[in-house]
């Protein structure tokens, strides 16, 4: 049940951010759910490998290169999914930052509500 709630919260964040941010388009809420699932899978399996391979660059940039990796993940999801369009690096970067913030906010609200 917890994973379903996480996917729904992430989907809401993706849907909200795509409607807020120019340069990112989501076809509808079902597509936002797919974006959240694919992004979660990529973050669990591909991102750790990329983080490991770029440790020197990440240290040199004081961790800011992790934002580039996040943007790359968003662009990768946009390549996999027809209903999710990201028009470039900067929209992907801003999208990843806003989705992270909105997801964190919604998860905090959901945790407070369940107590």
Alpha helices (H) along the chain: 2-20, 29-45, 47-53, 55-60, 65-80, 89-114
The rounded distance, in Å, linking the Cα atoms of 68 and 80 is: 19
Give the pLDDT of the chain (115 residues) as one tens digit per residue: 688 888 999 999 999 999 999 999 999 999 999 999 999 999 999 999 999 999 999 999 999 999 999 999 999 999 989 999 999 999 999 999 999 999 988 888 877 776 6
Residues ≥6 apart with Cβ < 8 Å to 87:
23, 24
Helix (H) or strand (E) holding 86: strand 84-86
**Domain boundaries of the chain, sorted by first residue:** 34-98
Place of tokens 């027809």: 82
């Amino acid at each position: 049940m917890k994973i379903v709630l996480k996917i729904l919260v992430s989907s809401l964040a993706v849907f909200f951010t795509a409607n807020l941010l120019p340069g990112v388009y989501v076809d509808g809420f079902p597509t936002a759910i797919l974006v959240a699932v694919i992004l979660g899978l990529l973050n669990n399996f591909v991102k750790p490998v990329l983080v490991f391979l770029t440790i020197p660059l990440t240290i040199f940039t004081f961790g800011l290169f992790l934002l580039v990796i996040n943007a790359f993940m968003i662009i990768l999801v946009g390549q996999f999914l027809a209903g999710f369009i990201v028009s470039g690096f900067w929209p992907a970067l801003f999208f990843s930052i806003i989705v992270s913030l909105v997801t964190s906010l919604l998860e905090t609200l959901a945790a407070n509500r369940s107590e």
